Structure 1
């Protein structure tokens, strides 16, 4: 059985791998994470890669099956695998490669949802692929609201022939993408649809108040539950 120091070491490894790169002028990001109620550690994590020329950003937000301490060892191993895969395989093959990795793991470590985004920082064009993950949100500067992205797909580790939905779009100046794990929008008493409607409202108020710190203000309004929670926002400031 792992002691507190070992859990802390594992969590530190997970957090160090999840540090986002510094983005070029005109772009910013923020994130906030909280483990399940009663735990200090959780299994949600981010893997990212910025191209050498600073133009192309890849992000993967992952929610490993399980919550709290039970999810940490599997999350650390999977984060390490994804960190290698994101620079070694074509972006269109990343989720397939991640799925193949999980298929080879022990039964209690082989399920995760993920959302993968490839973002052109010169044009604002993006592609989102989903593996059983809650839908991303796109902030429309013109409408001043969060719109639901339609990418859907198969949870990683479920089958050796998964299907991953893909959507494409473009961020104009002042627009943003918001990614989150299901602990933010779903609980035993709240359906996913109702939770997403709640998130769109809360996130709208959060960014209209002030973009700085919006991710943490969103997380702070999520009821404590039995699942980990993570929010990631990538914004094109245009400045």
Structure 2
């Protein structure tokens, strides 16, 4: 059973994007439509009585905003020029106060949209289309990294919660069952938090999802390190923890790259025990790292046992000792065991000491 509550999927049904399709082959049609709308606003303002001038001026604002969102720089400039000419023509039949207020407002709006367009020019797509592409990419990679269904007797659930409720998180989880008898999962924390780390996280997630299960467990972290080193990002480091579990025997191995240690709940004694001996170097800092630089430790999940992976945002908080954060998390984990594990990952994630100020991620694997 899988309960994945991380960054719940959002339907990409956007009426505005449907109404104005800004794909490259339709932008000329959209440009023509906006110019025609500008001309109609001008004619209406001239033909109708003076009080209708306010409506005519106001109708130019959505034309400007639509051009800024959906058109290329050249097409946007053309629409802006037509709107300014219409606004100046309307000012001939209106009073000076109305002209100064509305024309000035239009100029401010156009300037802001042009500044935004200057920043997005490297991407080569309009703002609305770029946002849609980014969201679509996030959803595709989220689905690609969805945890697989495990056989009867096993359960895994994850929760990823971004800082300040953002849609993008520097923490992510990927899982795979390369064979019916083996389950692999990795929890990764990319440097930064929230939207600042979100773009790097999207790229890294796709790469790590491809590596997971394609290599022997002891080669995953070295390969992930090589990938990050090749990117050459100024802040391209990450921490990660990787677990490989035999779904027949319950035997597991865990390796870490600068990440907080996993904890193993032993049903026999009712205690959570840190999984020691897995402290490897950060990913993306040193090149040429081999399996020996990412030591692994082994254990066994008996019936009733559980393995908990988490990111540092769950236990860390400025000015508070990290051991206090760990004890607090394990207290919530104890209550989760007592009340039932379903939904426990989300509850533990939400109880983080850092609250909404940091990215948090939790993976809970249990054997029934």
TM-score by length of 2: 0.61
Mapped pair 1:189 → 2:319: yes
Gap runs ≥5 in structure 2: 1-119, 121-126
| 1:72-128 residue CA offsets vs partner (Å, 9 max, x unmatched) | 111111111112222432221111111011001132352111111110000000000
Bigger drift between 111-120 and 9-18 goes to 9-18
Mapped pair 1:17 → 2:144: yes
- Cα RMSD over matched residues? 1.8
The structure with higher relative contact order (CA 8 Å, sep 6+) is 1
Aligned-pair distance for 1:168? 0.4
How far apart in 2 are the matches of 1:70 and 1:7? 14
Question: How many correspondences in the alignment?
Answer: 236
| 1:149-185 residue CA offsets vs partner (Å, 9 max, x unmatched) | 1121111011125421211000000001000111001
Corresponding residue for residue 192 of structure 2: 66
1:130 to 233, 251, 256: 256
Secondary structure of 2:208's counterpart equals helix
Aligned-pair distance for 1:192? 2.3
Corresponding residue for residue 363 of structure 2: 232
How far apart in 2 are the matches of 1:66 and 1:6? 22
Bigger drift between 134-143 and 32-41 goes to 32-41
Corresponding residue for residue 39 of structure 1: 166
Partners of 1:14 and 1:75 within 8 A in 2: no
Corresponding residue for residue 205 of structure 1: 335
Partners of 2:266 and 2:305 within 8 A in 1: yes
Q: Any runs of at least 4 consecutive aligned residues in structure 1 with deviations exceeding 4 A, and if so which?
A: 1-4
Secondary structure of 1:103's counterpart equals helix
Partners of 2:345 and 2:362 within 8 A in 1: yes
Mapped pair 1:219 → 2:219: no
- Residues 6 and 227 of structure 1, relative CA distance in 2, 3 Å threshold: farther
Partners of 1:153 and 1:164 within 8 A in 2: yes
Aligned-pair distance for 1:66? 0.8
Aligned-pair distance for 1:144? 1.2
Corresponding residue for residue 207 of structure 2: 81
- Residues 133 and 182 of structure 1, relative CA distance in 2, 3 Å threshold: same
Gap runs ≥5 in structure 1: none
TM-score by length of 1: 0.92
Secondary structure of 1:32's counterpart equals strand
Secondary structure of 1:15's counterpart equals helix
Aligned-pair distance for 1:38? 4.9
Corresponding residue for residue 154 of structure 1: 281
Partners of 2:218 and 2:296 within 8 A in 1: no
How far apart in 2 are the matches of 1:13 and 1:187? 32
Higher helix share: 2
Higher strand share: 1
| 1:10-35 residue CA offsets vs partner (Å, 9 max, x unmatched) | 43234212211110111011111110
How far apart in 1 are the matches of 2:314 and 2:230? 29
Secondary structure of 2:164's counterpart equals coil
- Residues 13 and 67 of structure 1, relative CA distance in 2, 3 Å threshold: farther
Secondary structure of 1:234's counterpart equals strand
